Structure 1
């Protein structure tokens, strides 16, 4: 997957209150950025109209609604969702990982839609996990468990913070698509992301795509901000390629090239 250009790995989060604001940013960024995430904040005001408009502008779309419910509801929701223009959609599990993925696939209107399972929110750290599940809970073990169940159930990939990407790559190799949120340039405010990483480090760890919101959307110069992050992504790709060359054959799990069908799916 190292052949995917740096700018195509950047997913800009359209975390706005109105469609007008979101589309203004997309127009400003022009051809520099081709992939956008639509989450609850924008979706609640624009619904699927924003998805259709982004598709008309020939942009790739990541629908981040963290879909999780009983299987029947997930299946019907996907049947009623105009997902033909979308590329990625995020799932979370409330009723079993296998059942969730199966229901989503049965309901999807497009065979090209890639399902990504949320591991653990980037706003949660070890103390939050223990507060939620008890003192015995372990963040790394929970991420590993969810990742394994999701991949075995047929998910195309995972949503995982940068600090857990290497762990996932060591466990599964290069096949799963990994989309990493909570990305912050060096020295930037991490906001509510407790496990933030820089673009370069997340890519070095093995992330395929990076989701970036406020460092771009709240920047004085959004184009310059996006260009800077793309530059950091390229630095990460260069470092990853160099590491690949220096590693012995058969010892490249975290950075090796993916199988062909996953490369096609992610690209």
Structure 2
């Protein structure tokens, strides 16, 4: 029971840091507005991409299901496949949105994350690298993270067609996987500030899995709501900085 209690406590702590981040930006509205700029730019790009996918989902479904050409119920089947493709694209957009927004807004979110830590007592003595190095390293790490995401989401997408399991177990597993990798992206700024490399970051988050999921899963579910991803992004960055400073870096 003690192990279960620690995991429940860690999950609750992760949720707490998510709310603390929202509370911090609520007390600092100027920084909240500052953090909206890259999220708005990324939102425009994703709206265009998802609009195209939504209007061409059945065409994509027809392209990926040539084996169903002779089926009497192929139209219904392809509509269902098209819906699954769009839902899968939406879930992937939620996960990758953070990476794209962080890449676009690296200077913005870096300043926001630093301000949070200054407000909590000062910046750590980390590695001071030029912007261009951190920018390209951030893109590289985000691409590697995307590969890991696809390794999980593609099998889950296929399992989504399995009756019952696809409508119950798969969405839960999808939220867990997406929540973890969302935490990976959001904590990257504060961890890089401490000189923690990508492999070490993954290991640290896995060793604090309950907290990582407690933070990432609610944020992922909130990001599924239209426009919430934009207004909540600065708070998510602030909460991630608090979690790294308060718990993860100490461990």
Structure with more strand by fraction: 1
Asked if these proteins are the same fold (TM beyond 0.5), I'd say: no
Higher relative contact order (CA 8 A, sep 6+): 2
TM-score (structure 2 length as normaliser):
0.25
Structure with more helix by fraction: 2
TM-score (structure 1 length as normaliser):
0.24
